[in-house]
Amino acid sequence: MTFSNRPVLLDCTLRDGSYAVNFQFTKRDTIRLCQALEQSGLQMIEIGHGLGLGASSPAHGIAFEEDEVYLQAASETLTRAKWGAFFIPGIGTMEDLERAATFEMDFVRIGAEVEEFKAMIPFIERANELEMFVCANLMKTYSVVPERVAEVTRELGSAGAECVYVVDSAGCMLPHDVSEYVAQAVDSSDAMIGFHGHNNLDLANANCLAALSAGAGMVDGTVRGMGRSAGNAQTEVLAHLMCRSGYSSGIDPFQLFESGERIIRPLNVQSQGLPPLDIVIGMARFHTSHLPRLRRAASEHSVDLARLVMNVSAVDCVNPSDELVEKSAQELRANRMAEE
């Protein structure tokens, strides 16, 4: 599997996000989200039970569908984006991995705690034989020092892992911690280095940026930040932050806002992540004292408030005039009518 030179934002809404719905994503949810995520520009999409292939059970939580249903839904829906699943040795079996390969799965992320990394190696080797892109996720990376992570990364790279992930399983790491772990891993191996973070200290997005700055080539997010515990980095926010930081994500946050409202919100997911309008206010550098005027204009002209905020702020984010607000609303309405 080849990538452009830009860092990759991997979306795991349909995998890590499944914790937020008690693993109850349906086949229909999977198809709709795969379509939406691909259309937004995401290159890599992870699907399935939160704990990976073979995990659906009373011990780990029973998913709404069998693994094969999720695998088939992704395989038949996605045409451009690469897709894959998570896998934990001891929960999943070699047969589970081989079964996934029959659906032409593009990548697998094999996870284990750092000092149990050797358990991953037979599965890394088999996944390579099955022509998958192989990631090794070092769960609870913070449990050992960065130097140990560098040693393990070197061994996993030699064993065939094409990407090794620093994983903040508890959402406890600070940006400078992430930078140190990632930098040492980058220096230790030719493998790509990734970062997966949780948001327990409200730092998941910042930690992803720290990882990229330290040389990571892949970071993870979920729509609306949904996921285990406090959730994950928020894909739609992270896509914008990557662009602001000089990385071309190729992802349209507005399509993700729409998908979150249309697909995720009806699932009554426990509140995680920021609402779209709050994100847009930050994207646009817009002061909320002007929001009542824009709300009125958006309502009068039946246009999207978030897009109006972006357009007005692109001209004047400090003190937009009533004339500017009205003109921008009229232009948005004209553009919408021309597209209909």
pLDDT tens digits for 256-268? Answer: 999 998 999 888 7
List of the chain residues with pLDDT < 50: none
Query: Boundaries of CATH 3.20.20.70 in the chain?
Result: 8-271
What is the predicted pLDDT for the residue at 267?
85
Does domain 8-271 fall into CATH 3.20.20.70?
yes
Q: Tally helices (H) and strands (E) across the chain.
A: 13, 8
Tokens standing for residue 59: 């011990």
Q: Which secondary structure element, helix H or strand E, spans residue 45, and what is its range?
A: strand 44-47
**DSSP 3-state of 78:** coil
What is the predicted pLDDT for the residue at 273?
84
Own/partner pairs, 329-336, CB within 8 angstroms, 24+ separation: 329/297, 329/298, 329/300, 329/301, 329/303, 330/301, 332/301, 332/303, 332/304, 332/307, 332/308, 333/301, 333/302, 333/303, 336/303
Q: In this predicted model, what pLDDT tens digit does every residue of 91-102 receive, in sequence order?
A: 999 999 999 999
CA-based nearest residue to 47, from 62, 29, 61: 29
Query: Boundaries of CATH 1.10.8.60 in the chain?
Result: 277-339
The class that CATH gives domain 277-339 is mainly alpha
What is the predicted pLDDT for the residue at 271?
61
What is the predicted pLDDT for the residue at 2?
54
Are residues 300 and 322 in contact, defined by beta-carbon separation less than 8 angstroms?
no
